[in-house]
């Protein structure tokens, strides 16, 4: 069984939800996917040991997911880059990395979107519905931008994104304990 890009989107959404309860239908709506796509993603990530199924819940296996994002995603889901386009900023051009890099003469990476507010180099999203899902959830948008920095950024951008993801994943499960 091979992982698909929507599987990573599904896992990132679970990280954002923390340990909040969810349903397949609810996630399907939030992610712009069908319930069967979400169910398939859940099965694949459990088989890949990136998530754990206990009772009827699927939860991300944070340590394994972090290892995969830091060491594997840049080789498995390489972004397509294109010409100049209107779109939604991603990678180093979006929060939380935007404040850490000085703007240079290169156009920022953007997910193509005719309603986007930025103009930059076309950068394919992890999954086709990722921009729609990110628009609905700012925390998910930030994680997707960090993953994009790892998928297609320069060394310094990748390293900074990895540290930021580690920091955010370290907080998983903390909200229910406070």
CATH class held by domain 5-74? mainly alpha
pLDDT digits (tens, 9 = 90+) for 21-70: 999 999 999 999 999 999 999 999 999 999 999 888 999 999 999 999 99
At residue 178, the pLDDT reads: 43
DSSP string spanning 11-68?
A: HHHHHHHTT----HHHHHHHHT--HHHHHHHHHHHHHTTSEEEETTEEEE-HHHHHHH
Domain ranges of the chain: 5-74, 78-169
Place 105 in a pLDDT band, splitting at 50, 70 and 90.
confident
Is the pLDDT at 85 greater than 60? The verdict is yes
Which two structure tokens, joined as six digits, stand for 60? 């991300």
**Averaged pLDDT score across all residues of the chain:** 93
At residue 175, the pLDDT reads: 63
């Amino acid at each position: 069984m091979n992982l698909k890009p929507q599987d990573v989107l599904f896992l990132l959404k679970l990280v954002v939800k923390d340990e909040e309860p969810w349903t397949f239908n609810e996630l399907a709506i939030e992610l712009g996917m069908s319930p069967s796509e979400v169910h398939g993603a859940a099965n694949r990530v459990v088989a890949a040991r990136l998530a754990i199924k206990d009772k009827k819940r699927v939860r991300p296996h944070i340590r394994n997911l972090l290892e995969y994002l830091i060491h594997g995603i840049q080789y498995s889901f390489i972004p397509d880059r294109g010409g100049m386009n209107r779109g939604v900023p991603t990678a180093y051009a979006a929060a939380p990395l935007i404040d850490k890099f000085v703007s240079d003469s290169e156009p920022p990476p953007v997910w193509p979107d005719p309603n986007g507010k930025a103009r930059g180099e076309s950068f394919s999203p992890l999954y086709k519905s990722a921009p729609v899902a990110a628009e609905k959830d700012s925390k998910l948008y930030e994680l997707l931008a960090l993953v994009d920095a790892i998928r297609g950024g320069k060394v310094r951008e990748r390293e900074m994104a990895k540290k930021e993801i580690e920091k955010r994943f370290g907080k998983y499960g903390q909200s229910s304990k406070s």
